[in-house]
Amino acid sequence: MPPIIEFTAPPLPHYIVSGSAVIPVNGKHPSRQNIGAFDLLVVEHGRLFIGEEGRDYEVAAGHALILRPDCYHYALEGCREATLHHWLHFQLMGDWRVVEDEEYRHCGCSMTDKDIPGSISLPPFTATSYTVPLPQYAKLAQPQKIITLLNDLVDLNRNIHLDSVRLRQQALFQDVIVELSASSAHAGLPPQSACAEKAASYLREHYDEPFSAQKLGENINFHPVYIARCMQKVFGCSPAVYLQRLRIEQAKLLLLQTDLTIERIAEQVGFNQAAYFTACFSKTEGISPRKYRQRFIWNKD
């Protein structure tokens, strides 16, 4: 199976240039090496026959292929019919890697730690990173939607001298990336990751309620022991620890955005006792809730 290109954001991928072309019968896509940018190919009509690093691809209508910037890609044969395709060059400005399909499905791993609330103490309102999987080769879920976006990108080139137009192109390109990621049959999570994500979603919706492993299992239809194993693998902690970290994160927001008392905040985020909340908060953040609030809120008195 084709590999997955996984990148970390922010920063978001950067659009460079795009266009479309018709390759005649017996014509070929150019062979190139180390072009320094990703090359997205979307076929609207006909077929392209391309190889890269020993993998052969037959890119039919409604399919997409991403050629990597650090590889040699080459034509396998000429087009058997006139082939209309769209091309787009882009850069991944941050970290990225190539993951084999089997590895991605097996472990659901990523380059960065999963979004574990409170896993690292960060300043308030800090942007956190996340990973996005792109199929190197895929049948598009909505090919016409991507083709329309690609045509819109090209139409904007007539006013490329305007900064506002360049910004618009970047925004449209992000829509292309979203569609590509969603089109992959591989975007479905591996079983353990799917279980962990379901548990995390449930805990996020019910963080202010009393925790019960049994209740969690009943609501997401997995055995509590299996849930704990999956969350440990994906998030590096048990459901109870994940929930406590989530409650601390919610408490931090309330400390900065409201004038609620410490006792009231503890109650709102699911702690039965303010003293226990303070102890948990201090252990996680290295500072008490009161001092945390004082650090970021200016008191004119």
Residue 119: its pLDDT value, please? 52
Tokens standing for 91?
């850069």
CATH of the domain at 151: 2.60.120.280
**Which among 132, 120, 115, 105 has a CA at the least distance from the CA of 234?**
115
Residue 140 and residue 207 share a domain: no
Q: Taking the model in full, what pTM does it have? A: 0.71
Number of C-beta neighbours around residue 146 at 10 A: 24
Residue 90 and residue 238 share a domain: no
**Domain tally, the chain:** 2
Find the mean pLDDT for residues 5-18: 94
Considering 186, 215, 231, which residue would you say is the last residue of a domain?
186
pLDDT band, residue 107 (cuts 50/70/90): low
> From residue 40, how far is each of 55, 56, 144, 156, 194 by CA, in Å?
16, 16, 15, 18, 29
Query: Mind listing the pLDDT tens digit for each residue in 216-235?
Result: 999 999 999 999 999 998 88
pLDDT band, residue 275 (cuts 50/70/90): very high
Could you tell me the residue range of the domain that residue 40 belongs to?
4-186
Query: Above pLDDT 90, what percent of the chain?
Result: 72
**In the predicted model, what is the mean pLDDT of the chain?**
89
Residue 202 and residue 179 share a domain: no
Residue 225 and residue 181 share a domain: no
Considering 163, 186, 209, which residue would you say is the last residue of a domain?
186
Q: Which residue has the tokens 């990597």?
A: 68
Sheet order of strands, 137-139 included: 14-23, 83-91, 38-45, 63-67, 137-139
Query: CA–CA separation, 204 vs 190, rounded Å?
Result: 21
Domain presence at residue 301:
no
CATH of the domain at 274: 1.10.10.60
Domain presence at residue 112:
yes
Considering 186, 205, 229, which residue would you say is the last residue of a domain?
186
Residue 270 and residue 207 share a domain: yes
Query: Mind listing the pLDDT tens digit for each residue in 126-183?
Result: 777 888 889 999 999 889 999 999 999 999 988 888 899 999 999 999 999 999 988 7
